[in-house]
Chain A
Amino acid sequence: MTSGTHPIRTYTTLIGLALATAANIGVSQDFDSFGRSEVLPEPEGDWVFVDYSLVDVADDRFLGLIGVAQTRRPAAIEYSPDGTSLFLVETFYTRGNRGERTDTVTIFDTHTLGVAGEVVIPAKRALLLVVEGTLALTDNGRFLGVFNLTPATSISVVDIEKREFVGEISTPGCSLVFPAGELSYMMICANGDLLTVTLDENGGEVSKERIERFFDPEADPIREPGVRYGDDWLFVSFDGMLHTVDVSDGMPRVGESWSLLNASDREQNWRITGRQPLAVHQQSGRLYVLARQNDEPLDDPADWDGTEIWSFDLATRERVQRLEARPASANAGGAGATLGSTSGDGASNILVTQGDEPLLVTAGDTGISVRHPLTGEYVHERLENAPASGWLTLRMP
């Protein structure tokens, strides 16, 4: 074989080029402009963040990625009231994983998913793998609370209107932060109390008040991932009790707790499980939960996928529907059997979109499923254009 160019081949190439050029002469060709990036249109109701990836779950379309520096942490996202910004907390070191630490509330543009600003906060933010309770925007949409753990517990308050750090509020013995009224946060205390932190109009501390014994952490602790239903926060306990807190008037009121498991369920050892076990469709008052059977109580229900999705009418407290949870992995093992996975035999995260025609979204280690919640009919048994799994956050319209 010669290394030189064969004369006949060169000749043929030249003819080809000439023909191609001739063909273009009579055709209008639009040339691409350089440097263009997409900007997202106004959001649709079925856009969901899977950690940092924005996905249209109705159309199975990957829309973009939030430009965070560290994608390896699950995302706790809050939105500005006008929907143009979203907020995340980030931690940086000047030399990658060492050097001086800086924590920021980073502001992202919801249409470009790029950075639109930042507020430096004390380098104390809690590094948890729990998502719910790490970041909370007061219901008036003004003050962002960041949960700190050093291991002293506190909240850093950020004014998102002025884009400045306001101050730090010490919250001894109480952790996680949830919105709880126009200018209030709610926290869960290690002894089962609830702490209400109330701010003034400038974000300064006005009061801290405790409600004693919301639950008994020794007998049956509640799990961290609460969901909001109107003015209520709903939390599920390890033993399947649903606890309710009404935060409508700035001072939480504890409602009656009730069991998601009936006598028969308990006899059959059903448990409420999953990393993100609860979702609520606001309009219909339907609660969706992940459940599985396990002979023994689970030490950490988050490690275990739900094999079924149960739907409850929150008004009547009746279970109205049972669906098989998908997707299931062929190589399902016990929790901890494989690094980086849950039990793999169902769904670990659940979310329902809002509006008249909601979609039920579940994520497991092997993919994300989308279905009509009322019929259980699949829209997508497994999304092709989405991450395999992750924390699910609705993109607020």
Chain B
Amino acid sequence: MDSRNWFDRRFETGARYMARLTSRRSFLTRLGTLLVGTASIPLLPLSRAAAQAADAGFKDPDIEGDAGDPMSCNYWRYCSIDGFMSPCCGGSASSCPPGTEMSAVTWIGTCRNPADGNDYLISYNDCCGKSPCGQCFCNNNEDDMPAYVTARSNNINWCLAHSTTAYNSTVALVLGRADG
């Protein structure tokens, strides 16, 4: 298999759903502008610790079918994912597989939770340090932006701030309400 292509696809798409609605677009535009505009300082879009802390407080409500199944590409959190789903690789939707490290920087999407109809900010952190997992490739591309809008693009290897840029898989952390 030509891993160039998976990698290409993996990083060419994503972070899309967030801009579907004007309000989301406006919010994330401000977020993106803030992050990119200050990029001369190595400001991380979202720290790993903050992302994990945020996710720890969120419990998925019961959702019937694929939208409630973290092993499914249709899982509600994966609306902007483009990569190998961590739960298929030894991790979970909010944790990385054994021996990999969660990326400290990431791209952000907004997904609608079908249980409550609310939009949530989702952080698609890559799991880094090992070769590609190869399981459960999921390519739900919504409103990806070109690579020059860095915080909203997954044309970028988001393991970039790590000691190794080897990409393994991706988690989807809930950071909070997008409209809250």
- A residues sitting closer than 8 Å to B (CB atoms) are 51, 72-74, 91, 93, 97-99, 101, 126-130, 133, 149-153, 170, 172-176, 187-191, 217-218, 221-224, 275, 299-300, 302-303, 335-336, 339-342, 365, 388-390
The 8 closest A-B pairs by CB, nearest first: A336-B139, A172-B40, A127-B157, A175-B148, A340-B5, A129-B8, A190-B36, A97-B166
Q: Is the interface of B mostly helix, strand, loop or mixed?
A: loop
- Residues of B within 8 Å of A222, CB to CB, are 146
- Cβ contacts under 8 Å, A153 to chain B: 39-40, 150
Contact of B139 among A99, A151, A335 (CB under 8 A): A335
With contacts A127-B157, A128-B147, A130-B155 known, is A303 near B38, CB below 8 A? no
Docked-complex contact B38 and A217, CB < 8 angstroms: no
* Majority secondary structure of chain A interface residues (helix, strand, loop or mixed): loop
- In the bound assembly, the distance between CA atoms of A180 and B142 in angstroms comes to 33
Contacts of B130 in A (CB 8 A): 97
User: Which chain A positions have C-beta within 8 A of B116?
Assistant: none
Which residues on B are within 8 Å of A, measured CB to CB?
1-13, 16, 25, 29, 32-33, 36-42, 44-45, 82, 105, 129-131, 137, 139-151, 155-157, 159-161, 163-166
- Closest B residue to A51 by beta carbon equals B4
Q: Residue on B with the closest CB to A75? A: B4
Q: Which of B16, B29, B141, B143 has the most CB of A within 10 A?
A: B141
Residue pairs across A and B with Cβ atoms less than 8 A apart, 26 shown, are A74-B4, A98-B129, A98-B164, A127-B157, A129-B10, A129-B12, A129-B155, A151-B105, A153-B150, A170-B40, A172-B39, A188-B146, A190-B37, A218-B25, A223-B146, A224-B147, A224-B148, A299-B16, A300-B12, A300-B141, A302-B8, A303-B9, A335-B139, A336-B139, A339-B9, A390-B4
Given contacts A151-B44, A190-B36, A300-B13, contact A74 B8 (CB under 8 A): yes
Q: Are A72 and B143 in contact (CB under 8 A)?
A: no
A150 engages B148 (CB within 8 Å): no
In the complex, the chain B residue whose C-beta lies closest to that of A71 is: B4
Contact between chains at A190 and B33 (CB < 8 Å): yes
Q: Choose among B11, B142, B148 the residue with the greatest number of A CB atoms under 10 Å from its CB.
A: B148
